[in-house]
């Protein structure tokens, strides 16, 4: 039987790191979850068990903590680029590093007190290879949005299994997962994040929706029109269905005011919006 090793990578998943920056009595907190993944000349470890090419995942975890202590975190994209650049050069056997970071927000409650924000999570995925090629994808997830009107869904294809009644007015709700690809480097990932996020929210709330697909496109289009530093937006939008409850058994009308919020099954609308002249994505989405 002829077989060979296919694509592979290895690393430390979900290194949880909290960094407290002390400015006298006023402290600042950063809370991140870092996953590193390396690839390169890894035939021997898989085929013969020779570990000489393998920088241990334990070392990768230590490096995350040491770099936080030495450099601070800054914007998560910058921290990921720093780590990926280090790993891609650290061993001759390692050719490529992928670093993924999630950041959890905390709200200030006092000089050294914080309350964890329950909502959205900021994300990034950075790739670097030893030839200096790099890609940066920024994003967010768990941004839950709802329009209580301004959404319709009708005119869809019908077959013998279709029972869905057309909706002239419905609740539209989703938990946005968005990732956007930067065309090149940017000096301000923080302000870029805020602008893209605002565009996504404004397009969701401001679009009179005939489908979540139409809203998805509007969200990507708005972000690309406003934020010239990005060239592609990928969106994953679960349709968090809200079904109006039939209150007629209780002698009550229901003018789209009382809903059953179902959690499953849910529609899942996914798509990419990109510039006509977007450069090749290379390894950015891997």
Ligand X SMILES: O=c1[nH]c(=O)c2[nH]c(=O)[nH]c2[nH]1
Residues involved in catalysis: 12, 57, 241
Name which of 66 and 164 has its Cβ closer to ligand X: 164
Answer yes or no: is 250 a known binding residue. no
Min separation Cβ 153 and ligand X, Å: 4
Stretch that binds ligand X, among 51-59, 93-101, 114-122, 208-216 (CB under 6 A): 208-216
Name which of 52 and 157 has its Cβ closer to ligand X: 157
Answer yes or no: is 153 a known binding residue. yes
Min separation Cβ 164 and ligand X, Å: 5
Answer yes or no: is 31 a known binding residue. no
As to burial, measured by CB atoms within 10 angstroms (0-12 exposed, 13-18 middle, 19+ buried), residue 84 is: buried
Asked if 211 touches ligand X (CB under 6 A), the answer is: yes
User: How many residues are given for the chain?
Assistant: 286
Q: How far is CA 189 from CA 125, 197, 229, 285, in A?
A: 13, 12, 10, 18
Asked if 153 touches ligand X (CB under 6 A), the answer is: yes
Residue whose CB is nearest to ligand X in the complex, by number: 212
Q: Is the four-CA dihedral 106, 142, 192, 79 of positive or negative sign?
A: positive
As to burial, measured by CB atoms within 10 angstroms (0-12 exposed, 13-18 middle, 19+ buried), residue 97 is: buried
Min separation Cβ 172 and ligand X, Å: 7
Name which of 81 and 172 has its Cβ closer to ligand X: 172
Residue with tokens 């400015």: 23
Name which of 164 and 225 has its Cβ closer to ligand X: 164
Min separation Cβ 215 and ligand X, Å: 8
Tokens of residue 155, six digits: 């005119």
57-71 vs 76-90: helix axis angle to the nearest 10? 130
List the interface residues with ligand X, window 255-284 (CB under 6 A). Answer: 267
CA distance 216 to 219: 5
Asked if 147 touches ligand X (CB under 6 A), the answer is: no
Contact present, 169 and 151 (Cβ < 8 Å) = yes
How many residues line the site for ligand X (CB under 6 A)? 7
Name which of 35 and 239 has its Cβ closer to ligand X: 239
- Give the closest residue to 215 by CA, choosing from 271, 158, 159, 256: 271
Min separation Cβ 214 and ligand X, Å: 8
Identify the residue among 164, 245, 258, 268 touching ligand X (CB under 6 A). Answer: 164
As to burial, measured by CB atoms within 10 angstroms (0-12 exposed, 13-18 middle, 19+ buried), residue 222 is: buried
Q: Which residues bind ligand X (CB under 6 A)?
A: 153, 164, 211-213, 239, 267
């Amino acid at each position: 039987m002829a077989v060979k090793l296919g694509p592979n990578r290895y690393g430390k998943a979900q290194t949880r790191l909290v960094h407290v920056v002390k400015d006298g009595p006023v402290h600042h907190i950063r809370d991140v979850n870092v996953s590193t993944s390396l690839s390169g000349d890894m035939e021997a470890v898989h085929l013969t068990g020779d570990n000489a090419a393998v920088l241990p995942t334990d070392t990768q975890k230590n490096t995350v903590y040491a770099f936080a202590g030495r450099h601070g975190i800054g914007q998560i994209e910058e921290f990921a680029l720093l780590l990926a650049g280090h790993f891609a050069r650290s061993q001759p056997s390692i050719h490529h590093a992928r670093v993924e970071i999630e950041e959890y927000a905390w709200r200030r409650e006092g000089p050294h007190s914080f309350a964890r924000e329950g909502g959205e999570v900021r994300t990034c995925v950075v790739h670097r290879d030893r030839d200096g090629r790099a890609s940066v994808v920024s994003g967010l997830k768990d941004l839950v949005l709802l329009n209580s009107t301004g959404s319709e869904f009708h005119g869809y294809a019908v077959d013998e299994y279709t029972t869905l009644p057309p909706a002239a007015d419905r609740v539209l709700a989703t938990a946005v997962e968005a990732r956007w690809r930067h065309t090149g480097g940017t000096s301000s990932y923080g302000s870029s994040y805020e602008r893209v996020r605002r565009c996504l929210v404004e397009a969701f709330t401001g679009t009179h929706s005939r489908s979540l697909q139409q809203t998805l496109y509007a969200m990507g289009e708005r972000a690309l029109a406003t934020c010239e530093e990005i060239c592609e937006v990928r969106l994953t939008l679960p349709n968090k269905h809200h079904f109006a409850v039939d209150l007629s058994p209780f002698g009550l009308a229901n003018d789209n005011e009382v809903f059953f919020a179902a959690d499953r099954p849910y529609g899942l609308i996914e798509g990419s919006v990109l510039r006509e002249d977007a450069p090749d994505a290379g390894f950015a989405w891997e």
